[in-house]
Amino acid sequence: MAKEGVEKAEETEQMIEKEAGKEPAEGSGGSHRLGDAQEMRAVVLAGFGGLNKLRVTRKAMPEPQDGELKIRVKACGLNFIDLMVRQGNIDNPPKTPLVPGFECSGIVEALGDSVKGYEIGDRVMAFVNYNAWAEVVCTPVEFVYKIPDDMSFSEAAAFPMNFVTAYMMLFEVANLQEGMSVLVHSAGGGVGQAVAQLCSTIPNVTVFGTASTFKHEAIKDSVTHLFDRNADYVQEVKRISAEGVDIVLDCLCGDNTGKGLSLLKPLGTYILYGSSNMVTGETKSFFSFAKSWWQVEKVNPIKLYEENKVIAGFSLLNLLFKQGRAGLIRGVVDKLIGLYNQKKIKPVVDSLWALEEVKEAMQRIHDRGNIGKLILDVEKTPTPLMANDSTETSEAGEEEEDHEGDSENKERMPFIQ
């Protein structure tokens, strides 16, 4: 039960509107009401499949339970795992309909019982176990972090998943030290750029990266050696470093697992933290899943022992929501905010999209077109071309084929930072 009533919520909404340079509407806190119930906009996944399974609709606004904070959302992060969730391409997928999204930033609007250390109006970023892509979220206090005054809401929404994942892999799992070398796939993505920035905080670390050729110019200053994602990067790395690398960070899976292990130096660490090779189209492909699984090299523990190599996996969401390591993650976030305040790291935001533009944003990730993080800006007004694309449709529209026109989507671009 919330400590603050509707009057306090309305006061906070007015403060938020004032911050955005808007005058609050007379007699209203800005929320839509149905009788006594307040409503909010949210992206809803109606069922697993293609982009047309997503739409923006109105839902009842949640209220914080004991130990939770209610956050008026300003921005949400969009990650590759969200594409896999949409397709149902994960272990034990939740039941639909659901509101996707695992991270957001915004302003604390209400506090549940027993919450300490936060006040109404605090600027925060948070992990959410689904439900992030909405105007309002409630999440346990252990997953919420205050953000620096000079960090924008879009930066804050780009911060938790990417930088915590990168930090945990480099320093907690692989023990990155001075003079080591790192190979990271998808170097132009949000995690890839976070890895490159964190490596720059340690002296004499060499970063090898794979990325689409068109991204090389934009990221060349953050990566020591860049290779095209379709090139024979194993030979390219060995040409530069005959012994290989100390750390391999693999978000692709498939045959890249064997290649990564072959590149490890003695005492090197290979970490799998994703399987994007399983996503080759808009909908789940059993062929891609089977191909990726079949191409994974079967690991022989005796061979690892003989070659002094380490193989590991990392899932931040499982660590948070299933394995109870919120305290560990809070310590990591504190360190990362310290690095941000020292101007040593800064989230790379690719582009901002309205909630109603979520389909087009996801298509940009499908096309591997982003450099850095895509952000859903809750207050952004959709462009006229997109205004009706992701809003709630009739039941007849829900039965359409799960295929979108790629050429049409590519023509529609939001604000690019």
Tell me, yes or no, whether 208 and 319 share the same domain. yes
Mean of per-residue pLDDT scores for the chain:
84
Q: Are 79 and 102 in contact (CB under 8 A)?
A: yes
CA-based torsion, 356, 192, 130, 152: positive or negative: negative
Three-state DSSP at 328 gives: helix
β-strand 181-184 against 245-250: which pairing, if any? parallel
> 141-160 pLDDT, tens per residue?
999 999 999 999 999 999 99
Structural domain harbouring 128: 39-154
Structural domain ending residue among the three candidates 318, 347, 376: 347
What is the CATH number for 311? 3.40.50.720
Residue 379 resides in a domain: no
Tell me, yes or no, whether 69 and 182 share the same domain. no
Three-state DSSP at 269 gives: strand
Per-residue pLDDT band at 89 (split at 50, 70, 90): confident
Tell me, yes or no, whether 216 and 320 share the same domain. yes
Q: Which of 369, 404, 98 is nearest to 281 (CA)?
A: 404
Tell me, yes or no, whether 148 and 165 share the same domain. no
Residue 252 resides in a domain: yes
314-318 mean pLDDT: 96
Tell me, yes or no, whether 339 and 201 share the same domain. yes
Q: Are 297 and 306 in contact (CB under 8 A)?
A: no
Q: Which residues contact 203 (CB under 8 A, 6 or more apart)?
A: 178, 179
Cα angle 251, 352, 29 (rounded to 5 degrees) comes to: 125
Structure confidence at residue 31 (pLDDT): 55
Phi, psi of 7 (to 5 degrees): -60, -40
Structural domain ending residue among the three candidates 110, 134, 154: 154
Distance CA 180, CA 246 (A): 6
Residue 127 resides in a domain: yes
Across the beta sheet with 37-45, the strand order is: 32-34, 37-45, 54-60
Structure confidence at residue 165 (pLDDT): 97
229 pLDDT more than 70: yes
Three-state DSSP at 87 gives: helix
Burial status of residue 47 (CB atoms within 10 A of its CB: 0-12, 13-18, 19 or more): middle
> 331-376 pLDDT, tens per residue?
999 999 999 999 999 999 999 999 999 999 999 998 888 999 999 9
Tell me, yes or no, whether 315 and 214 share the same domain. yes
Residue 395 resides in a domain: no
352-221-185-322 Cα dihedral, nearest 10 degrees: -60
Per-residue pLDDT band at 294 (split at 50, 70, 90): very low
Tell me, yes or no, whether 175 and 139 share the same domain. no
Task: Please name the residue that has the structure tokens 């976030």.
Answer: 333
24 pLDDT more than 90: no
Distance CA 160, CA 103 (A): 7
Tokens standing for 235?
């030979």
Residue 392 resides in a domain: no
What is the CATH number for 65? 3.90.180.10
Residue 259 resides in a domain: yes
Residue 285 resides in a domain: yes
- Which residues pair with residue 34 across a beta bridge? 37
Tell me, yes or no, whether 139 and 166 share the same domain. no
Three-state DSSP at 373 gives: strand
Tell me, yes or no, whether 90 and 165 share the same domain. no
Tell me, yes or no, whether 228 and 113 share the same domain. no
> 45-75 pLDDT, tens per residue?
999 999 999 999 999 999 999 999 999 999 9
Tokens standing for 198?
């964190």
Tell me, yes or no, whether 179 and 226 share the same domain. yes
First to last CA, the chain: 40
292 against 315, higher pLDDT: 315
Domain count, the chain: 2
Task: Quote the distance between the C-alpha of residue 92 and its chain's center.
Answer: 20
Tell me, yes or no, whether 185 and 265 share the same domain. yes
Structural domain ending residue among the three candidates 154, 181, 205: 154
Long-range contacts of 116-125 (CB under 8 A, 24+ apart): 116/141, 117/141, 118/69, 118/144, 118/146, 120/4, 120/8, 120/12, 121/12, 121/15, 122/146, 123/147, 123/149, 123/153, 123/156, 124/69, 124/71, 124/156, 125/156, 125/157, 125/159, 125/160
Residue 231 resides in a domain: yes
